[in-house]
Structure 1
Amino acid sequence: MLQKFLYPLFAICLIAASTHAQPGKKLSSSAKADNISPLTRQYISPVKILWKEGQVNNIEQLLKPGISQADLANRNMAILKNDGSGKKASILLDFGKELQGGLEIVTGMWGPKNVPLKIRVRYGESASEAMSDVGGPKGATNDHAIRDFTTLAPWLGRIQLAESGFRFVRIDLEEENAELQLKEVRAIFTYRDIPYIGSFKSNDERLNKIWETGAYTVHLNMQEYLWDGIKRDRLVWVGDLHPEISTVNSVFGYNEVVPKSLDLSKETTPLPGWMNGISTYSMWWIILHYDWYMQNGDLNYLKQQKQYLNGLVKQIVAKVGDDNQEKLDGTRFLDWPSSENPKGIHAGLQAMTVWSLATASKISNLVGDKETADLCNKTVARMRKYIPDPNGSKQAAALLAITGLMPAEKANKDVLSVGGAANFSTFYGYYMLEAKAKAGDHQGAIDVIRQYWGAMLDLGATTFWEDFNMDWIANASRIDELVPEGKKDVHGDYGAYCYVGFRHSLCHGWASGPTAWLTEHVLGVKVVEAGCKAIKIEPHLGDLKFVEGTYPTPYGVLKIKHTKLANGKIKTDINAPKGVRIIQ
């Protein structure tokens, strides 16, 4: 069951009973692997009729709880009717929060013939997306998940429809001279029914909600594998996994979805390929394995990566020139907003190469591969002799600061703090926050979190987006309303690169960085010995009066509370599970 700290709608959407095997029946391991889904289904009624057109009657019936069953009583039906005298009967439903799943429709009886009726269904992460046409001027698509389709609604029956990521659903009756009777229209919410073990609460409700929203964003993407988006892309992108797994570590602790996704990436990328075709994404795979080991302490799993890691390290080292500069091939990519800054990308790739090889050295020592560790160390040592210019890129400056190629204080002053949240990005914003923390600018990072991620909440977000730009705020409409005359459509009018207009995902796990960052730097939790055997507690409250929370460890839940006293000092109370050594 989900925690009480989640805001009410969040709790309403997520509370559900776990599914169980038949009592007394023991499942074989193969049955568990092949036939039992790790996902729970919950049926969610809409909370609001956002719009209607044509002959539509008793539509508020759809807001009531349903039972997924048609019946012969045929009472209290919502009616959509077309008789050729006006506009097509249509409704737009708001389910209150972004969901991953499909749609269930339960129907009544209509005459004179007992025939199914053609309907059109459109999902939307925003109200305006649900009102759009595929291929229209604002870029709506059916990529990865079908979200705009026609189907037949059965007479006196039930139909369950395609899954995607959505909050809004529009239904149009397509038949001429027909009457559609709707008993129920409910979202089929599909998710892992797992507890939120980690938590964060302070005297700033805006920060609390940002933490919760980041956690929920990743939770929705924890399907059979860890996706980066529930509308698009419903795929395992390894670089995107890094902020997501940082959030998993802070909120859920161990979950099978992480090693499954890391293993899939390895299995589908034989060397000399780069994961997802991107050199940095193979580097993130290395960094992720070390982070996962530090959280969970599974050395046997780490040893399973030895052979692949050895080959990958040699491949990376071969891309470092005699001049100590990276010369990586494949797609040269940090994130989309930095993609038009080749000098910045080069600086970022230099830092990523150093970071990944330094991490590979640690792993190689742990798994008994001294030769690979030595190769990593020698390559890192000579790469540190060349310091590239970040060329104004906050992405590159963050990586240079994190890896020590550039003093963090200089990176923060000269690049990261310029313009505040301007030129932040949802993915690399996490590393910009990390670099600011390394520079000691925790208050500046907290301010950016409030401003940048908080702005998405102000626009109606219930999950964090694939991209966001502070310039979009001016005169923008909220995503949970139909765009008023004279306002900008923040979903349909913006976006770039692969996410123009409505193709833009409004639930992208790589945007969850503040959740992990607030846990590590404000609550002050830093794992310093593998498997959480030792955790350093070092809070940075900035202008906060108090912060309290929990953190998942393999030994149980770590509980922490920090209170700022009148003299400015911090009073800390810690309740650590047996087996976890606390360093203060």
Structure 2
Amino acid sequence: MIKRMIIIALVWGSLLSYDVLAQLPPVFGEKYEELTQDDPRVRKYISPLRIVWQSDESGKTIENAAKLLKPGNGQAELINNDLCILRSTDTEKPGILLDFGKELHGGLQLVTGMMASKDPVKVRIRFGESVSEAMSDIDTINGATNDHAMRDFIVELPWLGSLQVGNSGFRFVRIDLVDPNVELLLKEARAVFIYRDVPYLGSFKSNDERLNQIWETGAYTVHLNMQQYLWDGIKRDRLVWVGDLHPEVMTVNAVFGYNEVVPKSLDLIRDATPLPQWMNGISSYSLWWIIIHRDWYNYHGDLEYLKEQEEYLKGLLSLLLTKIDGNKEALDGMRFLDWPSSENEKAIHAGLQALMVMALDAGAELSQVLGENTTAGQCEDAVARLRKHVPDHGDSKQAAAMLTLAGMMDGKKANKQVIAVGGAENFSTFYGYYMLHAKAVAGDYQGALDNIREYWGGMLDLGATTFWEDFDLSWLENAAPIDEIVPEGKTDVHAAYGNYSYKQLRHSLCHGWASGPTSWLTRHVLGVSVVEPGSKVIRIEPHLADLEWVEGTFPTPYGAVKIKHTKKADGSIATEVDAPDEVKVLK
């Protein structure tokens, strides 16, 4: 019996809350401690908000579907009143599509009644980030897959009981009867929402509700990806991609402050990548690991944690110093910035040249903190050499942005000649974050706000509740929203687009690397930058552009800093700040 209980605990560990696993009954004993793992997440049950579609409106094969919209309690009952009934025939197998209102991570709980037959009833479950995905079949036509997470499968439901299934990212769920001539009495179909129950310590509000919604959507996108580790996507790419992690970590800094998911993820990829291997097989991703550690230390000032990285950091920096040919980067492994720039060799070289400068600069900073002055000096010498070679940006917004941020290209020139051309055309969800920062270097805050409204706002216009793995403004033309059945003559935006590893319905609609505007708005509009490690000294320098007012909070290890900026009649800005005593504020 005990052995069976242990197996159940291990199998369902991802669905158990931290409190349950942290308090094993005494019968388990100390010898079972090594077999258990605490789960930092919680789960909540959410009833659907609406029925998007049902195969039968006549009442012949589906009755009382609206019952599923009522709040449930997860308990089967010896009362068969007021249940949703699905009946199949020789020719009809009913199905129903539920909408839970916004993107969630987790699964589905189904509670049944007393069917006439006690035999289990087979149902097909399909999770979808869009209506189209939930209505799709796994095939080679529209790209729907079960990669990383099972989102299309058949299960058996018990007589007068309940079952919890699924572990994916979704907003919509379709339920179909599989066999002919069976009846299913369904009391409840609730989402099992699994997430970290952490407060939003950072905030952003302005007189522009569109920007407010974008900030919140970016925050929520990363929140959903803060699972056992910090993932890139909750449906697909449920992995620690350390390059993609950088904009996600900056969102964590701006919204949640310190959270153990970041060091846990950084350590996971470090331990999985013995030198001289590159993290995730991509040389630039090892560079991002260094930059993330510099930023994490600056925000949180955890010197003890930084010391834990000393040996690996020193070895990685030594490796990078061997990947310079004269004054040019000579990185091997997969040479990658982001997917839209992956076929532009000039852009890749320019971006990697800039990224080497940024990473070695960060490495020198961290080495000085750790007392590794020799390594710091070697990094500084290498940076001086690398700065003498400024590659052609290949007319790439990604490359121009990185050259700007590395201080190797004039920001105003880069913005005028490359980044601002066509507005948000050729932006990418990942490197768009760095394009926005490069525009800030150029002083083009108005242009950046316009880009955010147009590009990230474009996803909201299509019904997004989280930001996507990829997006292009051209997708807006004649597109149907993702939260409705695609009308004839309209484009199915989820099934029609995508490229590289995210074609069509395989495309993730909740990708943490797309959250860039959240931390950007905190940094440049609310105006908060960290001056000394641990946020002991911060500078507040707002750039409101066309906004009339903005207010928000910024998390520090000592508590939140409250900030409000109001534009006066003469164009000047009145600022109010309330900071913890331990935080010095520069204006």
Which residue is equivalent to 2:43?
41
Displacement of 1:18 in angstroms is: 9.1
2:504 paired residue among 497, 501, 505: 501
2:350 equivalent to 1:350: no
- Distance across 2 between alignment mates of 1:462 and 1:260: 27
1:56 paired residue among 62, 71, 76: 62
> 2:434 is paired with a residue of what secondary structure?
helix
- Distance across 2 between alignment mates of 1:31 and 1:447: 54
- Distance across 2 between alignment mates of 1:249 and 1:83: 55
2:395 equivalent to 1:392: yes
Which residue is equivalent to 1:187?
191
- Distance across 1 between alignment mates of 2:454 and 2:258: 31
2:254 equivalent to 1:244: no
- Distance across 1 between alignment mates of 2:486 and 2:319: 51
> 1:354 is paired with a residue of what secondary structure?
helix
**TM-score (structure 2 length as normaliser):** 0.94
2:87 equivalent to 1:81: yes
Which residue is equivalent to 1:310?
314
- Distance across 1 between alignment mates of 2:529 and 2:51: 46
2:552 equivalent to 1:546: no
- Seen in structure 2, the aligned counterparts of structure 1 residues 229 and 530 have a Cα distance that, compared at 3 Å, is same
Which runs of 5 or more residues in structure 2 are unaligned? 1-16
- Distance across 1 between alignment mates of 2:164 and 2:480: 32
Which structure 1 residue ranges, 4+ long, deviate > 2 Å from structure 2? 17-23, 30-36
- Distance across 1 between alignment mates of 2:19 and 2:268: 26
- Distance across 1 between alignment mates of 2:402 and 2:81: 62
Which residue is equivalent to 1:107?
112
2:96 paired residue among 77, 91, 98: 91
Displacement of 1:371 in angstroms is: 1.3
2:191 equivalent to 1:158: no
- Seen in structure 2, the aligned counterparts of structure 1 residues 132 and 105 have a Cα distance that, compared at 3 Å, is same
2:248/2:512 contact within 8 Å kept: yes
Q: Equivalent pairs: percent with the same residue?
A: 63
Which runs of 5 or more residues in structure 1 are unaligned? 1-16
> 2:468 is paired with a residue of what secondary structure?
coil
> 2:324 is paired with a residue of what secondary structure?
coil
- Distance across 2 between alignment mates of 1:406 and 1:31: 55
Q: Deviations over 1:443-478 (max 9, x none)?
A: 100000000000000000000000000111100010
- Distance across 1 between alignment mates of 2:411 and 2:439: 7
- Distance across 2 between alignment mates of 1:39 and 1:300: 26
Q: Deviations over 1:254-290 (max 9, x none)?
A: 0000000000010000000000000110000000001
1:18/1:193 contact within 8 Å kept: no
> 1:388 is paired with a residue of what secondary structure?
coil
Q: Deviations over 1:298-346 (max 9, x none)?
A: 1111111111111111111111102x11111111100001111111011
Residue type at the aligned position of 2:413: K
Residue type at the aligned position of 2:115: W
How many residue pairs get matched?
563
- Distance across 2 between alignment mates of 1:31 and 1:459: 48
2:54/2:95 contact within 8 Å kept: yes
Which residue is equivalent to 2:291?
287
- Distance across 2 between alignment mates of 1:414 and 1:497: 28
- Distance across 2 between alignment mates of 1:418 and 1:31: 59
Which residue is equivalent to 1:123?
127
1:98/1:167 contact within 8 Å kept: yes
Residue type at the aligned position of 1:68: G
Residue type at the aligned position of 1:536: R
Displacement of 1:37 in angstroms is: 1.4
- Distance across 1 between alignment mates of 2:185 and 2:166: 21
Which residue is equivalent to 2:10?
none
- Distance across 1 between alignment mates of 2:477 and 2:205: 30
- Distance across 1 between alignment mates of 2:515 and 2:373: 36
- Distance across 2 between alignment mates of 1:437 and 1:457: 24
Residue type at the aligned position of 1:379: A
1:144/1:232 contact within 8 Å kept: yes
> 1:238 is paired with a residue of what secondary structure?
coil
2:525 equivalent to 1:519: no
> 1:424 is paired with a residue of what secondary structure?
coil
Q: Deviations over 1:337-395 (max 9, x none)?
A: 11111110110000001100011000000001111111101110011111101011000
- Distance across 1 between alignment mates of 2:398 and 2:224: 26
Displacement of 1:135 in angstroms is: 1.5
Q: Report 1:428-467 matches (<5 A).
A: 428-467=431-470
- Distance across 1 between alignment mates of 2:418 and 2:362: 26
- Seen in structure 2, the aligned counterparts of structure 1 residues 559 and 571 have a Cα distance that, compared at 3 Å, is same
> 2:510 is paired with a residue of what secondary structure?
coil
Which residue is equivalent to 1:265?
269
- Distance across 1 between alignment mates of 2:340 and 2:254: 27
> 1:492 is paired with a residue of what secondary structure?
helix
Q: Report 1:336-347 matches (<5 A).
A: 336-347=339-350
Displacement of 1:33 in angstroms is: 11
Which residue is equivalent to 1:5?
none
**How well do the aligned residues superpose, as a CA RMSD in angstroms?**
1.7
1:335 paired residue among 317, 334, 338: 338
- Distance across 2 between alignment mates of 1:33 and 1:41: 22
Q: Report 1:482-501 matches (<5 A).
A: 482-501=485-504
1:394/1:423 contact within 8 Å kept: yes
- Distance across 2 between alignment mates of 1:305 and 1:410: 38
Displacement of 1:34 in angstroms is: 4.4
Residue type at the aligned position of 1:204: D
2:363 paired residue among 341, 360, 363: 360
> 2:292 is paired with a residue of what secondary structure?
helix
Displacement of 1:87 in angstroms is: 2.9
